[in-house]
Structures are given as C-alpha cells and as structure tokens.
Amino acid sequence: MVRVELTDEKSAAAVAARCAAAAGKAALPAHARAKILLKAAEALEASAEDFARLICAEVGKPLKEARREATRAAFTLRWAGEEARRVVGELLPLDLDANSEGRCAIVKRVPRGPALFITPFNFPLNLVAHKVAPAVAVGLPFVLKPDPRCPKSAEKLIGLLIDAGWPAEAAIVIGGPLPAAEALVRDERFRIFSFTGSTAVGWKLKALAVKAHSCLELGGNAAVFVGKDADLPWAAARCAWGAFCYSGQTCISVQRIFVEQEVHAEFRRLLVENIKLLVVGDPADEKTDIGPLIDEKSAIRVEEWLKEAVAKGAKLWAGGPRSGLVIPPSLLEGVPAGCRLSCEEAFGPVATLDAVSSREEALERMADSRYGLQAGVFTNDLAFIHRAFERLPVGGLIVNDIPTFRSDAMPYGGVKDSGTGREGVRYAMEDFTEQKTLVLKS
C-alpha cells in the first residue's frame, strides 16, 4: 500500500500519474485476482474481532454492530473472489442481414481504467470493501480516500489485500484537505469515480469528474409503510432497530413511518415499547445499542431539528435532551411539512410517525421526497406490493422488513438525489468495466 498525504494540486497530479502507471501491475489473471480476494477474506475473518474493536474506537459504533460490519466485509471480499471468476463476455452471430454474412463478434468486459474512491465514516470497513473488492475482482488500480476520522480501518483492510498478493503500487491511500482531493476528481486519468457520502458533496464532486464514469451512493430519508394486515410486533421491533441502530447514522435508516389508521395507536404503543428497550451507553459495552454521534456538530444539528419540529407542533413520544454527542432515540408524530425532519436526511436517531387514511395516501407521502434510496412495506397484500414497487421512486423496496436491510450481494443504490450507479459486488464490477468488441470474418 502506498500512503500519500495530499498537500496541493501538484501532489494530486503525482498520485494520479502513479495510479495510472500501475494499470499493468493490476492486470492479473482472473484466478490470481480470485485467490487474492479469498485469501484476504480468510484473513479478515481471522481478525474480525480486532477490526470490530478498531471500528468501535474510530467512529463510536456499538461493538455488536461493529462485529456485524466486520462479518459483512469478509463476505463482501469472499463474494468478490467468487465473482472474479465470472467476468464473462458473449459471442454474437452477425449474419442478421446480408451485409454481415460470415461475421461474428466477440464481446468482452475490460476495466475502464484507474479508479478514485471516496468513502465515509459510518461504515469505515464494509463501504471501503464495496469499492476496493470489485476493483480487485476486475483488475483496476485505485486511489482510496477514506474519511479522515477513520483511516485505520481502511488501511488495515488494504494491508490484508496486499499481504494476499495485490500489488502495493495499485493501492494508493490518501489523506489531506478537500481542495487537494478535488484536484484528483478533476484529473482525467481517473476513468472511474465512486463516492459514498453526503448528497451535497457527492453531486458537487460528480460535476468535477467530467470524463469519469461516476457512481454515487448518497443520502436518503427512508420511508416505511405499516399496513393493518402487518405483523405489528415484528414491524415495531424492526422499525425501532432500523431507525436507531448506530444512532441513525446510515443512509437507509428508517426516518418516515406511515401506518394505516386502523392500527396506528397499537403500532405506536409497540414501537415506543421497543424504543424503551434500546440501551444507550458506551459503544464499547457489549450491551449498548445507541452510542454517540460522530461529532458535536452533528449532535447539535439533530438537536436543533428536533426542537424545530416540537416548536411547530410535533408530538414527542420518545427522546430527551442531548448529552454531549449522545441523543436518545427520538420518535415524533405530526411533524409539519415545512420542518427539516419531514423532508431532509436526519442522519441521527430520529424517526417520524404518521397515520394514513388509505394506502393511496401512503404511497403518495412515501414518494414525496427528493431522495429515493430504499423503502419498506409491512403487508401481505400482493397487489399493493406490486403497486408500491411500480410507483415508489426508489432503488429498492423491502417487503415485510425495513429499508435498512441490505444484502451485500444485491444491487444497491438510489434514484433522484440519492445517487446514480449501483453497488453490490457484481453490479459494481459492471460499473467498473466496459464492453469491447472484436468482429471476425470467416
């Protein structure tokens, strides 16, 4: 691994040149790329507890959630190792008209070129894995800029890949101020730009990456519908976890809950009961569910949004005053449309609850967002599920579970302000490669 601290545009240009020069080193055969990823997955599994405790120390993620992240990251590497052997092309007969008689085409997928990855703090291991593992699987050199608050998790993962055989020259990890990173984004030697983070920063950087194929995984204010035919205890338990795990610092955290009027009061009672069961405390404690937010600025912002909603008439069913970086899990009902909690991404331990008089109203309100990452519906009404799937402008719809659910093998990403492109190992590999055609004449 090459570690570089960017200082200015000149140092950024040197990094881009270095990465581009490593393209040959990264062009390993498929069996070698697969072996590297599988070996790294085994090493990660063997040191999962060390990774979990490092994540907990770096970003304050509760230890049990950090362990879950380490397990997921190992799966991500292992799945990429499997997929590295399945980068296939196709043979096309071209005798479809008289001008093409006697010809056929071989179409293969080839790496687009050097990649630039920028990752956030909230999943400092698995979100790095979701970028670098597909890059290794297709043979791409890359530059990685992890969040400066959690570089050690990323560096430790890259170290495992290099120990497993990935060329050190093809894995550059950088630090430094945002302007220097922007110079990298503008550098045309990078053919792929993949960013996970805030909506405002993501779209700004995409505008700078003029010639790169851009993949953005951005924010959301995920909506959930709970129908009168739902398993209410299950729905309440899952919504409580999905809204408040890791203090709501995930882009598919449950934020907006819409419940059919007939079961609204009962669901609210169950949800509040489940919220009371959540343990707020030291993230290093095995029992803790809710720990601190990442920094004081974030905690103050969430507190201000809560106060705004209450001042404008929202009812606070759960929650309490901020204590440093910690905000208790907060549930509000009847948040007015003009409040930031009703339309922006909270990215904190906050959820809103509203009754709806019809399923049509539920769909309209769920769709009324500038974001479109994932949504969840708790119902067994198959016709409604199909209608929701067709009408909700989201990248994924989760049935009888929360939008916070994600399998690391499935396509994952959003529409509207939530981004473009898809993660999920095989789907990222498709984004990181392009088709190249050879025409043969007999």
Query: Comparing C-alpha atoms, which of 131, 93, 86 is closest to residue 109?
Result: 86
Q: How many CB atoms lie within 10 A of CB 53?
A: 15
Helix (H) / strand (E) containing 425:
helix 425-432
Residue 217 among the catalytic residues = yes
Within 8 A by CB and 6+ apart from 364, the residues are none
Helix (H, G, I), strand (E, B) or coil at 139: coil
Q: Is 339 a catalytic residue?
A: no
User: Of 62, 118, 59, 121, which is closest to residue 288 (Cα–Cα)?
Assistant: 62
Q: Say how far apart CA 71 and CA 52 lie, in whole Å.
A: 9
* Burial readout 135-153 (b: 16 or more C-beta within 10 A, e: otherwise): bbbbbbbbbbbbbeebbeb
- Tokens 């030291």: give the residue: 282
Given the residues 251, 339, 345, 423, the one annotated as active site: 251
Q: Which CA distances in Å does 266 have to 255, 270, 360, 378, 413? A: 19, 6, 21, 15, 33
User: 201: number of CA atoms within 13 Å, CB side?
Assistant: 16
Burial of 98 per CB tally in 10 Å (0-12, 13-18, 19+): exposed
Of 58, 65, 217, 423, which one is the catalytic site residue?
217
Structure tokens that stand for 292 in this block: 């601190």
The residues annotated as belonging to the active site are 217, 251
